[in-house]
Amino acid sequence: MLCKSPQFPTLMIRRTCSLTPPRRARHRRFGGISWARWLFAAAASLSVVISQNAQGQEIPRPSYARQKQRTELPTVSNFKIGEVLLRVDAQMTAEFTDNVDASATPKPDFIVTPEIGITGLWAVTKLNTLRFRTSFGYSYYFNSPNLNRQIATISPDSALTFDVYSGDVKFSFHEQPSLQTETYNQGSLSGVAQLERFTNTAGVSVLWDLNDVVWTFGYDHYNFITIGGANSSSGTTANAISRLDHSTDQVSASMAVKVSSILIGGLETTASYSDYPEQTASNFSTISAGPYFEFQLTPYTHVFLSGGYKGVFSGTNAAGSVAVSSTTTAQPAQGDPAGYYANLSFVHRLNRYYSDRLDIGHTDDVDALGGHTQANFLRYNGNWKVNSKWSLSNGIAYEDIHIIAGSAISGSAVASDYRRFIASLGTGYQISPHVAASLLYQYINKMALRSSESYVQNRIIISLGYRF
């Protein structure tokens, strides 16, 4: 299974997405490859790649494209329509936050969000499968009636995928719609409680497994569409934010080679173009390329290392700079700074109860809400399965953000550089086969160069879910 990024889901394979089949499957040897053949393959490509998982032992495998992909739908479904299996689930979430606007002058609020989800699967043939997942919800704010918008959210995990196999080639068609209002994941925004936007990613990825080399090609079309304005508990913060609307087309190519029993290496490349219909001077393009490696450090520890060049090329306006309304102006382009991306990840399983992951890296990104930013980050996440019903989780993240260009969404000036520290602690309990409960505490501390953008936010979230 390919692991996908939230915005362009064609580029990553991670530890939980091993290309190695169950041991009982019939195998065909992976086969060695000389350095000369590898260099020739790399030179023949534009630049390439995605990784597979390195295995500690020499486990032969059949072509990945020929494997039957496991379905994510449980064996028990709620009901069936023809050959389509469906499952319905519901969730009620109650959240308390002491700073609903994420501002320097905090205001508490209590939010209730009911949500219903639908998961579907249609096995068209033994190999070709159509999957569907979405959930709809609505948030009610007790202390801030201005935020009770007449809009239902669509969760970010909504997706429609269709896998088609032809020999050693796998075609995966996908679409991922989302309708969101939250802003706590948008570090550059301050003084904004909601920003309604619809996003959708549609595309196709092609995986060609030659045993010695695994090639992946992809195309994605991404849409970002705003709805309404940027809102705070006291009213509308910014009108006419439709100038942020844009679309992005991205192509990608990659190649992975098994260098040894514990090392997989390769190259990856992407190129994209973003178009702003209401402000064409803000159009920009990006290109990135670099190597990728995966090591099996121990039988229970995997190390992922990637990095490379990231270039951003803009027109009249700086990339990520948009005139949101008549009171703001887009930043003029003053040369496009060359950037880079780098990531070092450790995925570790201490024992059958505890597993964790550490990520350290540097990014150079452009998005509609954050602008053009360069960031250094450190993230740690751990999961402890206490028993078959009870689990604990913890997370820590630190970000150091430098804003090169951006849009003045929440005030008269583009957001300043900032650092952000996030810590979370959660627990979940399976009450019965159909009922599950969870509790999460999250602490966010934003320390901005401009003091008016700094804030502290505490969130407590209680959820009760029912699977019919």
Q: What is the Cα Rg of the chain in Å?
A: 23
- Residue 407 in contact with residue 371, Cβ under 8 Å? yes
- Alpha-carbon distances, residue 27 vs 22, 61, 260, 294 (angstroms): 10, 4, 18, 22
**What's the pLDDT at 77?**
67
Q: What are the residue ranges spanned by the domains of the chain?
A: 15-467
pLDDT, residue 3, reads 43
Task: Extract the tokens encoding 24.
Answer: 């009982």
| CATH number, span 15-467 | 2.40.160
Written as one letter, the residue type at 259 is V
C-alpha distances out from residue 213 to 11, 26, 257, 292, Å: 16, 20, 5, 14
**For residues 66, 70, 73 and 74, what is the CA-based torsion angle, rounded to 10 degrees?**
140
What is d(CA 308, CA 201) in angstroms, rounded to the nearest whole number?
25
- So what's the pLDDT on residue 411? 66
Residue 369 DSSP class: T
Q: Where are the beta strands (DSSP E) in 261-389?
A: 263-275, 284-298, 301-314, 339-349, 354-367, 371-385
Copy the structure tokens of residue 376: 């250094």
d(CA 385, CA 61): 31
For 408, the token pair is: 């003045």
Which positions ≥6 away from 391 have C-beta within 8 Å? 383, 384, 385, 427, 428, 429
pLDDT in tens, 145-204: 888 877 788 888 899 999 988 888 999 999 999 999 888 888 888 888 888 899 999 999
Whole-angstrom distance, CA of residue 297 vs CA of residue 15: 13
Backbone angles phi, psi at 107, to 5 degrees: -135, 125
Q: Give the helix/strand (H/E) hosting 43.
A: helix 35-44
Element at 427 (helix H, strand E):
strand 418-430
Provide DSSP, 87-149: EEEEEEEEEEES-TT-SSS---EEEEEEEEEEEEEEESSSS-EEEEEEEEE--EESS-GGG--
**pLDDT score for 190:** 87
**Closest C-alpha among 53, 57, 1, 62 to residue 29:** 62
* pLDDT by position in tens, the chain (length 468): 334 443 443 333 333 343 333 333 333 333 343 433 433 333 333 333 333 333 333 323 334 444 434 434 444 567 778 788 889 999 999 999 999 999 999 999 999 999 999 998 888 877 788 888 999 999 999 999 888 877 788 888 899 999 988 888 999 999 999 999 888 888 888 888 888 899 999 999 999 988 889 999 999 999 999 987 788 888 777 767 888 999 999 999 999 998 888 999 999 999 999 999 999 999 999 999 999 999 999 999 999 999 999 999 998 999 989 888 777 788 898 888 889 999 999 999 999 999 999 999 999 999 888 899 999 999 999 999 999 999 999 999 999 999 999 888 876 688 899 999 999 999 999 999 999 999 999 999 999 999 999 999 999 999 999 988
- Report the alpha-carbon angle 57-60-62, nearest 5: 145
Distance from first CA to last CA of the chain, Å, rounded?
A: 27
195-243 pLDDT, tens digit each: 889 999 999 999 998 888 999 999 999 999 998 778 888 877 776 788 8
